[in-house]
């Protein structure tokens, strides 16, 4: 398969990107664009060029399949391709449909003219990966739409509908019909009108107004976005271009981009970007796996999990019936396509009774789910149709995550899991799928978080200090604030004794991350979780660990296993060998030995 296609329409060459699913700017596509530009320039019959993608995507930016590989930096790199487009002797028109993001948007900004369909959306989401646009985005976008409108697109990773920018110099047209056809017609008129190509780099910026706005914005992001240094770096890059001109600004932007690429935040954010997608993939589930129709959901319970699920399904546009008593089942839940037990608590017998009662009123083909922590093998043994059962457990709403932890038994029907995975996407949730027959994993990690906090409190560290320290590090909420929100008692256990050798406050976050990683590694050893990334995504998506940290096992890998061993040894000296928090997991111990 060729990475791009080349066609001629009268005197206009059309270069169509062909790198599904979103025309990522792979080495092969970058190479093809340059080669086709050379071909058009050598043909005197060609007067203009149109660059375009598909209805789904002009280009989604960098090809994620090349992240971390030499091909990502193989010439022609994107910066080179854009320079060839911008300096091309024949005018280049970008015809934009679908999404046009990141490097794809930077490429379009390098064209001399841009047309967009009314359904097109543009954006520069690089800050979500801990970097800034590295191929001119911070220099060209402010010049074409103004600094005030460019800032939120760059700093907030906004995806903007093309019609909302139709009043700027970004687009010469926003069309309702075929954007490629419109671009070809526009390109043909350029020769007739003898129009000189417009380079975005040559557009002016009002320096005084821009400098004042950027200086103010820089102070804000430094104060309130310090965990995401890419935001301050992006403002500095724009400011540099305003003060020193386009060429120096472009050089400065590239230097900042390369520096951020090696930062711990960017490494963590890129890891999370790939891992949250990998966590939702299950080997048994293919695109062709059938799914069951779900239009109406029944939820039994008044727990935090029940409310979270109700809100998520409402957001997905599904009908939801919530009941709080078993006598309401018959007559209220008979027509539901998905029935969920979410009573809460730690009484397995109560959960078994609730599931059995729900199964009795369920229509044929309905999916049955539990939001409880218990092993599905024990729960499904009580059901006449165990293949219809799975776990559907949201993360604690107090931690404002997007997690759905999904569990299955060895007999759960693949179409049941495929159906709920699809519902997660509709609801804007991020699923993590545990290995078959495991108990819920996320609540175990939460207990480690709370248990260590109780130890530190009993040892003499003020609970507010612990919370502040961890929030400052990057947790969405400290353990004591989390416990209050969940109604959990945080009184120290009877065996917790005060010690004299307290860890410094600077060492407290590291202590928590190592404890979480160690327990996560034990869950992998026990066959409850398949991969380190599953542990990390549970923590990041549902249990309050900042995306820019990357999860506890990723954090420990970056920290170095020698330091991990030292943290465990120091904790063991403080609190004793009997505490399982500090007994190294087998897999982690092996990594420590190899370090």
d(CA 39, CA 34): 9
Specify the CATH number for the domain of residue 317.
3.40.50.720
Residue 287: inside a domain? no
For residue 435, the model assigns a pLDDT of: 86
Same domain, residue pair 38 and 184: yes
Domain end (from 147, 169, 203): 203
Out of 411, 439, 467, pick the residue that ends a domain: 439
Q: Are 47 and 193 members of one domain? A: yes
Q: How many domains does the chain have?
A: 3
What CATH number did the domain enclosing 567 receive? 1.10.1040.50
Which of these, 247, 238, 233, lies nearest to 137 by C-alpha position?
238
Q: Please say whether the beta carbons of 296 and 337 come within 8 A.
A: yes
29 and 87 in a single domain? The answer is yes
Tell me, what CATH number does 31's domain have?
A: 3.90.226.10
So what's the pLDDT on residue 495? 54
Looking at residue 319, its pLDDT comes to: 95
Whether residues 431 and 332 share a domain: the answer is: yes
- Whether residue 79 lies inside any domain: the answer is yes
Task: Find where tokens 């010690």 sit.
Answer: 499
Closest CA to 463 of 507, 508, 494: 508
**492-526 as b/e, with b when 16 or more CB fall inside 10 Å?**
eeeebeebeeebeeeebbbbbbbbbbbbbbbbbee
Assigned domain for 312 exists: yes
- Kindly list the distances between the CA atom of residue 17 and the CA atoms of 54, 61, 279, in Å, as whole numbers in the listed order: 7, 12, 29
Residue 167 counted as domain residue: yes
**Does 398 lie in the same domain as 459?**
no
Same-domain status, 387 and 451:
no
Q: Strand pairing of 48-52 and 12-17?
A: parallel
Task: Catalogue the active-site residues.
Answer: 62, 103, 106, 126
pLDDT 10s digit of each residue in the chain, 595 long? 589 999 999 999 999 999 999 999 999 999 999 999 999 999 999 999 999 999 999 999 988 788 778 888 899 999 999 999 999 999 999 999 999 999 999 999 999 999 999 999 999 999 999 999 999 999 999 999 999 999 999 999 999 999 999 999 999 999 999 999 999 999 999 977 777 788 999 998 888 889 999 999 999 999 999 999 999 999 999 999 999 999 999 999 999 999 999 999 999 999 999 999 999 888 888 888 999 999 999 999 999 999 999 999 999 999 999 999 999 999 999 999 999 999 988 899 999 999 999 999 999 999 999 999 998 988 988 898 999 999 999 999 889 899 999 999 999 999 999 999 999 999 999 999 988 888 899 999 999 999 999 999 888 888 999 999 999 999 999 999 999 988 888 876 655 555 656 778 889 999 999 999 999 999 999 888 889 999 999 999 999 999 999 999 999 999 999 999 999 999 988 887 788 888 889 888 887 777 6
Residue 243 lies in a domain: no
Indicate whether 574 belongs to any domain: yes
pLDDT value of residue 573:
87
Q: Read off the pTM.
A: 0.91
Same domain, 26 and 44: yes
- If asked whether residues 324 and 390 sit together in one domain, one would say yes
Same domain, 129 and 110: yes
Domain identity same for 462 and 494: yes
- Whether 430 and 459 share a structural domain: no
Considering the domain boundaries, does residue 152 fall inside one? yes
What is the 3-state secondary structure of 169-207? CCCCEEECCCHHHHHHHHHHHHHHHCCCCCCHHHCCCCH
195 and 305 fall within a common domain: no
Give the domain extent around 99. 4-203
The pLDDT value given to residue 469:
95
Structural domain contains residue 303: yes
Instruction: Show which of 423, 439, 455 is a domain's final residue.
Output: 439
């Amino acid at each position: 398969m060729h990475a791009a296609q080349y066609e001629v329409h009268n005197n206009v060459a059309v270069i169509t990107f062909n790198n599904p699913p979103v025309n990522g700017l792979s080495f092969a596509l970058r190479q093809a664009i340059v080669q086709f530009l050379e071909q058009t320039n050598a043909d005197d019959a060609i007067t203009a060029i149109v660059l375009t993608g598909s209805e789904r995507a002009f280009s989604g930016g960098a090809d994620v399949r090349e992240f971390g590989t030499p091909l990502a930096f193989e010439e022609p790199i994107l910066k080179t391709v854009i320079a060839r487009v911008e300096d091309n002797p024949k005018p280049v028109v970008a015809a934009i449909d679908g999404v046009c993001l990141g490097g794809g948007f930077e490429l379009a900004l390098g064209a001399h003219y841009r047309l967009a369909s009314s359904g097109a959306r543009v954006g520069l989401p690089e800050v979500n990966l801990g970097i800034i646009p590295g191929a001119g985005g911070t220099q060209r976008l402010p010049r074409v739409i103004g600094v005030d409108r460019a800032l939120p697109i760059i700093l907030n990773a906004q995806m903007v509908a093309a019609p909302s920018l139709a009043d700027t110099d970004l687009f010469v047209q926003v069309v309702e019909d075929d954007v490629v056809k419109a671009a070809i017609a526009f390109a043909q008129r350029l020769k007739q009108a003898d129009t000189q190509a417009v380079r975005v780099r040559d557009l002016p910026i009002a320096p005084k107004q821009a400098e004042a706005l950027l200086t103010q914005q820089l102070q804000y992001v430094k104060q309130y976005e310090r965990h995401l240094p890419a935001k301050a770096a992006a403002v500095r890059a724009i400011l540099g271009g305003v003060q020193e001109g386009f060429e120096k600004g472009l050089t400065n932007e590239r230097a900042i981009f390369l520096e951020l690429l090696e930062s711990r935040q960017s490494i963590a954010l890129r890891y999370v970007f790939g891992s949250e997608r990998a966590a939702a993939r299950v080997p048994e589930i293919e695109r062709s796996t059938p799914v069951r129709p779900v239009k109406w959901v029944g939820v039994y319970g008044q727990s935090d999990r029940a409310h979270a699920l109700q809100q998520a399904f409402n957001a997905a546009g599904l009908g939801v019936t919530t009941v709080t008593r078993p006598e309401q089942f018959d007559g209220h839940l008979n027509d539901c396509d998905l029935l969920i037990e979410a009573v809460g608590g730690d009484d397995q017998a109560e959960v078994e009774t609730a599931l059995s009662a729900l199964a009795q009123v369920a229509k044929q083909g309905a999916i049955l789910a539990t939001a409880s922590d218990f092993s599905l093998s024990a729960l499904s043994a009580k059901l006449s149709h165990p293949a219809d059962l799975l776990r559907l457990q949201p993360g604690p709403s107090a931690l404002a995550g997007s997690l759905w932890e999904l569990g299955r038994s060895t007999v759960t029907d693949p179409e049941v899991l495929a159906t709920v995975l699809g519902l997660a996407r509709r609801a804007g949730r991020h699923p993590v799928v545990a290995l078959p027959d495991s108990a819920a994993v996320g609540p175990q990690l939460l207990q480690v978080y709370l248990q260590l906090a109780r130890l530190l409190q009993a040892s003499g560290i003020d609970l507010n200090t612990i919370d502040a320290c961890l929030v400052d590090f990057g947790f969405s909420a400290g353990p004591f604030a989390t416990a209050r929100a969940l109604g959990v008692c945080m009184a120290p256990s009877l065996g917790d004794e005060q010690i004299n050798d307290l860890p410094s406050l600077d060492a407290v976050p590291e202590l928590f991350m190592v404890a979480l990683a160690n327990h996560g590694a034990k869950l992998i050893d026990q066959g409850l979780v398949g991969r380190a990334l599953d542990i990390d995504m549970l923590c990041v998506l549902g249990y309050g660990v900042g995306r820019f940290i990357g999860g506890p096992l990723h954090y420990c890998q970056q920290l170095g296993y020698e330091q991990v061993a030292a943290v465990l040894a120091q904790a063991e000296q403080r609190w004793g060998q009997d505490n399982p928090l500090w007994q190294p997991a087998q897999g982690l111990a092996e990594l420590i030995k190899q370090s």
